[in-house]
Amino acid sequence: MKAYRDDVRARAVEAGRDPDTIKVMFLVSPIISDTREDAFARLAAWTELTPNTIEYGLAHFSRMSGIDFSQFDLDEPLPELKSNGHQSSTKALEGKRLRDLLVRAQRFGPDSVVGTADEVAGTLDEMMQHVGGDGFLLVNSYFSRRYVMEICDGLVPELQKRGLTRTRYEHTRFRDNLMAF
């Protein structure tokens, strides 16, 4: 993550841009629960491949690329792929096992973003201190009401206590609010 952010900022300077006017955010799928043990149990369940998660994952790859991924063996490396869909994402799948891709597709970001709201906030804080990035974009393959509440009522207040996220918006335009923090 740090190398990526450093590269983006260096390219901005090479292009004559102020790197501080560019926000680099990383995708992350935190798993939050009341206890660390429960959070890791949810992580294990989340990454377990069931017939439903396999079908959902194959449909996701197919929708992204326009390729029917159900034709491929889950345990064989994918061949060269030709797509009219998302070219770079499809190219990145070549040579990888579908089973591994399906497990990974359940989550974004490091596996360390798992625990209580306090622990996850601390982990995100440490990551940004090391990387120097501008924050995270929360992504999840399924935003249930429970998940939204864990983020809004659990993680966000912990991040606010640390001064890592705002408590109010000062500007009317999204861009101004994004650049102000």
User: Is 166 within a domain?
Assistant: yes
Q: Are residues 176 and 139 in the same domain?
A: yes
Q: Are residues 100 and 117 in the same domain?
A: no
Q: Give the model's pLDDT for residue 178.
A: 83
Q: How many CA atoms lie within 13 A of 84 on its CB side?
A: 2
Res. 143: pLDDT tops 80: no
Instruction: Provide the residue range defining the domain that includes 92.
Output: 51-105
The pTM of the full predicted model, rounded to 2 decimals, is: 0.76
Q: Are residues 133 and 77 in the same domain?
A: no
Q: Are residues 76 and 129 in the same domain?
A: no
User: Model confidence over 88-137: pLDDT tens digits?
Assistant: 888 989 999 999 888 876 665 666 799 999 999 999 999 989 988 788 88
Q: Are residues 94 and 113 in the same domain?
A: no
Q: Give the model's pLDDT for residue 9.
A: 94
Nearest partner of 102 among 63, 41, 147, 60, judged by Cα: 60
Q: Are residues 120 and 75 in the same domain?
A: no
- Which two structure tokens, joined as six digits, stand for 113? 């973003």
Instruction: Look at the chain and report how many structural domains it folds into.
Output: 2
Rounded to the nearest integer, the mean pLDDT of the chain is 89
Q: Are residues 136 and 157 in the same domain?
A: yes
